[in-house]
Amino acid sequence: MAEYNVAIVGATGAVGRMMLTVLEERNFPIKNLRLFASSKSKGIKLDFQGEKIPVEVLDETKNFKGIEIALFSAGAQRSLDYAPLFVKDGAVVIDNSSAWRMDPQIPLVVPEVNPHAVAHYKNKGIIANPNCSTIQMVVALKPLHDYGKIKRIVVSTYQSVSGAGQKAINELETQIKAWCQGTPIPPAKYLPQIIAFNCVPHIDVFLSNRYTKEEMKMIEETKKIMEDPTIRVTATTVRVPVFLGHAESVNIETKRKITVEKAIELLKNAPGIIILDKPEEKVYPLQINVAGKDEVFVGRIREDFSIENGLNLWIVADNLRKGAATNAIQIAEILIQNYL
């Protein structure tokens, strides 16, 4: 089998480290792996398949020639600055940041939903990986949309701190420890408010329309991935004191009636979804149970009696896996199987 030269930009971060894990788990055919991060990580080595790989400091003087696939996860500014340089040197970039997602020339891909869009990598050499909350929602909604045509989506999220990176994970831990020791919780530093024992309706920055950027990402990205600009979407995104895994309460209104039985049948036959829905046995998806899994979990499936064709769902996934690393590497697999 052919093997590829791969790079991870942002390799020391929460997503970057998960990329190393997922590449290894899936036995991705790698010839040579290069790792990049900031000058803070100078001298660090990361384990990959029993080898210690040195982390290189990302700067313009570096030679990126020979890299065929570059997985970016180092923030939007690094993606804007460096993705074109990697492309110029011959790589296809799969970008986890929000930098390129809404560029009409750049495909935004969830392999279970729009794998054919990968072909458009040829436009600019870049493929965008959607926002974590968007990914898990569209995986679950695509089979329902294909059958019943979704007219409107109302979503509220319950997002873990790992979505905001390693520093946010550490911040929740520090706050919980302080509380347990009976000492005052230190003020919030990386997240906008104290997150321990709290729910904060503020992810990413506020925009002039009073939504957060995280909410607008869900709204715009959903239409692009589902390739249907007519779907009306509204979102409220909330950070909750959970380390790993995002949960979502999703309400949809469809053109054609979807009964609970039909919804279960559609979701059962769709790729990448596991239904956990036996409420009488206390079975429904939970963040602490889906951490470490690659699928999207759906439960609490029930009719919304307040409208004619309405459905409620509870959708949960591991945000660092399906929400980021796994989805990016699935895209890389489509690339090598079909195009490279």
Q: Does 326 bind ligand 12T (CB under 6 A)?
A: no
Q: Which residues does 316 contact at the CB level (< 8 Å), separation at least 6?
A: 136, 245, 246, 247, 248, 285, 286, 287, 290, 296, 297, 298, 299
Is 180 in the active site? no
> Using the rule CB under 6 A, which residue among 7, 155, 301, 324 binds ligand NAP?
324
Query: Which helix (H) or strand (E) is 217 found in, with range?
Result: helix 213-225
Binding residues for ligand NAP, total number by CB under 6 A: 29
Query: Which helix (H) or strand (E) is 93 found in, with range?
Result: strand 92-95
Q: Which residues does 176 contact at the CB level (< 8 Å), separation at least 6?
A: 196, 241
Angstrom distance (rounded) from CA 216 to CA 29: 36
For the CB of residue 78, give the shortest distance to ligand NAP in the complex, in Å.
5
Q: Does 325 bind ligand 12T (CB under 6 A)?
A: no
For the CB of residue 204, give the shortest distance to ligand NAP in the complex, in Å.
9
For the CB of residue 263, give the shortest distance to ligand NAP in the complex, in Å.
26
Residue 230: C-alpha distances to residues 149, 151, 233, 307 (Å): 10, 7, 9, 19
14 binds, among ligand NAP, ligand 12T, none (CB under 5 to 8 A by kind): ligand NAP
DSSP label at residue 245: -
203 binds, among ligand 12T, ligand NAP, none (CB under 5 to 8 A by kind): ligand 12T
The number of angstroms, rounded, from the C-alpha of 337 to the middle of its chain's C-alpha atoms is: 22
- Whichever of 67 and 266 has its CB closer to ligand NAP, that residue is 67
Considering only residues 156 through 215, tell me which ones interact with ligand 12T, judged by CB under 6 A: 159, 163-164, 203-204, 214
Is 199 in the active site? no
For the CB of residue 131, give the shortest distance to ligand NAP in the complex, in Å.
4
For the CB of residue 292, give the shortest distance to ligand NAP in the complex, in Å.
16
Report which residue type is found at 95. D
Q: Does 21 bind ligand NAP (CB under 6 A)?
A: no
217 binds, among ligand 12T, ligand NAP, none (CB under 5 to 8 A by kind): ligand 12T
Kindly name the residue from 132, 180, 199, 202 that is annotated as catalytic.
132
Question: Which phi and psi angles does 283 have, rounded to 5°?
Answer: -105, 115
For the CB of residue 269, give the shortest distance to ligand NAP in the complex, in Å.
26
- Whichever of 254 and 327 has its CB closer to ligand 12T, that residue is 327
- State the distance between the two ends of the chain, measured CA to CA, in whole angstroms: 12
- Whichever of 131 and 222 has its CB closer to ligand 12T, that residue is 131
Q: Does 245 bind ligand NAP (CB under 6 A)?
A: no
Three-state DSSP class for 132? helix
Residue 1: C-alpha distances to residues 28, 29, 148 (Å): 11, 8, 41
Please check whether residue 275 is in contact with residue 140, taking contact to mean a CB–CB distance below 8 angstroms.
no
Edge-to-edge strands of the sheet including 30-37? 45-48, 51-57, 30-37, 4-9, 69-72, 92-95, 126-128
Q: Using alpha carbons only, what angle is made at residue 62 by residues 90 and 9, rounded to the nearest 5 degrees?
A: 70
Residue-wise DSSP of 29-65? -EEEEEEEE-GGGTT-EEEETTEEEEEEEP-TTS--T
> Using the rule CB under 6 A, which residue among 4, 6, 7, 14 binds ligand NAP?
14
Considering only residues 96 through 155, tell me which ones interact with ligand NAP, judged by CB under 6 A: 96-98, 129, 131-132
Considering only residues 257 through 316, tell me which ones interact with ligand NAP, judged by CB under 6 A: none
> Using the rule CB under 6 A, which residue among 12, 41, 131, 254 binds ligand 12T?
131
Q: Which residues are catalytic?
A: 132, 246
Binding site for ligand NAP (CB under 6 A): 10-16, 37-38, 40-41, 58, 73-76, 78, 96-98, 129, 131-132, 163, 165-167, 323-324
Binding site for ligand 12T (CB under 6 A): 97-98, 131-132, 159, 163-164, 203-204, 214, 217
